[in-house]
Amino acid sequence: SAVISQKPSRDICQRGTSLTIQCQVDSQVTMMFWYRQQPGQSLTLIATANQGSEATYESGFVIDKFPISRPNLTFSTLTVSNMSPEDSSIYLCSLGRDKAYNEQFFGPGTRLTVL
Amino acid sequence: AQSVAQPEDQVNVAEGNPLTVKCTYSVSGNPYLFWYVQYPNRGLQFLLKYITGDNLVKGSYGFEAEFNKSQTSFHLKKPSALVSDSALYFCAVRDMGTTSGTYKYIFGTGTRLKVLA
């Protein structure tokens, strides 16, 4: 299994500001995913981030609101821009192995509260 | 389109009793099915998966799941529940992927398991 860390683990932000969440993996991976999870709810995929290409966003999520960087095979960032209280959520990064039948590994999550 | 359903929001079971958390799926082609567990204030942890082969899959912490193709189900089971099993459980299915080779996972809505002492 891989070790995945996220920074920050939690934050409280003001409306209209932006927050960048970092995801660091201890091994090189091709595919990384960013999810949003309302407390106690299911996961919603925001985007898939492959190194060397633009992130692929899911319906309802746009690059201007959630810009993603993937500068190398062990690191990715997700920015939540121009935040509103509706963005309060847990944000999770995960990695996928090259083979699609492999399980995903998840980071511990970033708990974001927007006032 | 691929989908997965968890019909129960919450399951309550007494400690020592067997537990079942239900999951049904809809896929085109062969399904790749997964179970994850999320303890309070923690990320998701992988429990087990079905790719092919034996319909009964064994995983972490004494959990197992039974793949039933005719019923399109992949229920999570444990013979004897522990209070420490209380958590949020997610069933997931891998989608068909894109022509570029990328893929994603689709998660169910989650089932909260409460094991009572």
Using a CB-CB cut-off of 8 Å, the residues of chain B touching A50 are: 102
Taking the alpha carbons at both ends of chain A, their separation in whole angstroms is: 36
The residue in chain A having the minimum alpha-carbon distance to the alpha carbon of residue B47 is A103
Q: Tell me: the pLDDT tens digits for B36-75?
A: 999 987 788 999 999 888 999 999 999 999 999 999 999 9
**Beta carbons of B97 and A43 less than 8 Å apart:** no
Q: Are strands A10-13 and A110-114 parallel, antiparallel or unpaired?
A: parallel
pLDDT at B2: 79
For chain A, give the mean pLDDT. Answer: 90
∠ CA B15-B11-B30, nearest 5°, is 115
The residue type of A25 is: V
Q: Is the pLDDT of residue B98 over 70?
A: no
Write down the residue that tokens 């204030």 correspond to. Answer: B41
Per-residue pLDDT in tens (0 to 9) along chain A, 115 residues: 678 999 999 999 999 999 999 999 998 888 899 999 987 788 999 998 887 778 989 999 999 999 999 999 999 999 999 999 999 999 999 987 766 567 888 999 999 999 9
pLDDT at B83: 96
Using a CB-CB cut-off of 8 Å, the residues of chain A touching B102 are: 31, 48, 50, 56
- The candidate with the shortest Cα–Cα distance to A41, out of B59, B111, B26, is B111
pLDDT at A3: 86
